């Protein structure tokens, strides 16, 4: 089976400070659903950051979508990022843009035709139950609503890989279930590889998943 991610003796740290992730080895098969757990400060967001090339490996090798991230040109990295959907822990919505335009962003970058773009955005707004808010700006929304916009944006261009950092962190049970349904749907119907950082793995998952736990700089699979 194809590997979307391969880490070999991968170490991560910020500038010259302490090692956050220490010589880990793991891989993720194409089309799998992976949960990452770990205590606050254990390095979950740091690991996700490295997976989209936001933090260069300190040591070792990290290959994502066939691209070696320890030594990557900016053009290759931009190309790779077009195929990844990301939900940041702090959302990172463009506050000067309406939520509709925020969700359009990956479609514009990928050169989608206008009609297709609008149809896709309308569909996603419905899926995250925000169709009545399309013209609002991020700061006019609640935290949980912003989180749902971030999820819609991550899914917009049907990426091959979704990286989601605590995507239900601010949501009630109903909205959390919407998000899990969207991620499970992308995984089962579009074969999207999904990597989710969370503190709570839902009990009623409808797809098979793997669970990696980060502790003391190491990663191990929980069975
Ligand atoms: N930009 C940064 N510069 C320096 N150190 C950082 C930076 N971001 C995070 N760290 C440090 O890296 C360590 C891991 O942080 P990280 O954000 O990956 O944790 P986390 O597992 O995502 O935690 P949480 O569950 O609280 O989100 C922490 O000790 C943190 O202080
Ligand atoms: Mg984090």
Element (H, E) at 27: strand 19-29
Q: Ligand nearest 39 Cα, by number?
A: 1
- The pLDDT of residue 15: 87
Per DSSP bridges, beta strands 161-165 and 84-87 are parallel
Determine which residue's CA is closest to atom 5 belonging to ligand 1.
Answer: 14
> For residue 32, what are its two tokens?
């799998």
| Interatomic CA distance for residues 11 and 57, integer angstroms | 6
Ligand 1 pocket, mutate which of 12, 15, 42 (most atoms under 8 A from CB): 42
- Tell me the three state secondary structure of residue 74: helix
The end-to-end CA distance of the chain, in Å, is 20
How far, in Å, from the CA of 160 to the mean position of ligand 1?
Answer: 26
Residue 17 has what pLDDT?
82
Dist. CA 18 → ligand 1 center (Å): 11
User: Which ligand lies nearest to the CA atom of residue 214 in the structure?
Assistant: 1
* Domain ranges, ordered by start, for the chain: 92-158
Angstrom distances, CA of residue 92 to CA of 87, 106, 153, 188:
8, 13, 11, 27
Long-range contacts of the stretch 202-209 (C-beta < 8 A, 24+): 202/176, 202/177, 205/33, 205/180, 207/33, 208/32, 208/33, 209/32, 209/33, 209/34, 209/35
Give the pLDDT of residue 16. 79
pLDDT tens-digit series, residues 100-156: 999 999 999 999 999 999 999 999 999 999 999 999 999 999 999 999 999 999 999
- pLDDT value of position 7: 98
The reported pTM is 0.94
Q: Which residues of the chain have pLDDT under 50?
A: none
């Amino acid at each position: 089976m194809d590997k979307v991610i391969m880490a070999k003796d991968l170490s991560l740290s910020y500038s010259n400070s302490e090692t956050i992730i220490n010589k880990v080895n793991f891989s993720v098969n194409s089309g799998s659903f992976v949960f990452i757990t770990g205590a606050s400060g254990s390095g979950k967001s740091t690991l996700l950051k490295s997976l989209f090339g936001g933090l260069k490996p300190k040591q070792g090798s990290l290959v994502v979508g066939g691209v070696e991230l320890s030594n990557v040109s900016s053009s290759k990295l931009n190309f790779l990022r077009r195929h990844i959907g990301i939900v940041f822990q702090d959302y990172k919505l463009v506050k000067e843009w309406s939520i509709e335009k925020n969700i359009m962003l990956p479609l514009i970058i990928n050169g989608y035709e206008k009609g297709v773009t609008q149809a896709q955005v309308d569909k996603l707004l419905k899926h995250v139950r925000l169709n009545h808010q399309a013209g609002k700006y991020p700061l006019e929304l609640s935290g949980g609503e912003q989180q749902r916009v971030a999820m819609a944006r991550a899914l917009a261009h049907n990426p091959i890989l979704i990286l989601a950092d605590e995507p239900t962190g601010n949501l009630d049970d109903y909205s959390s279930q919407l998000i899990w349904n969207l991620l499970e749907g992308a995984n089962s119907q579009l074969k999207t590889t999904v990597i989710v950082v969370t503190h709570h793995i839902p009990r009623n998952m409808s797809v098979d998943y793997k669970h990696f736990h980060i502790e003391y700089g190491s990663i191990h699979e929980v069975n």
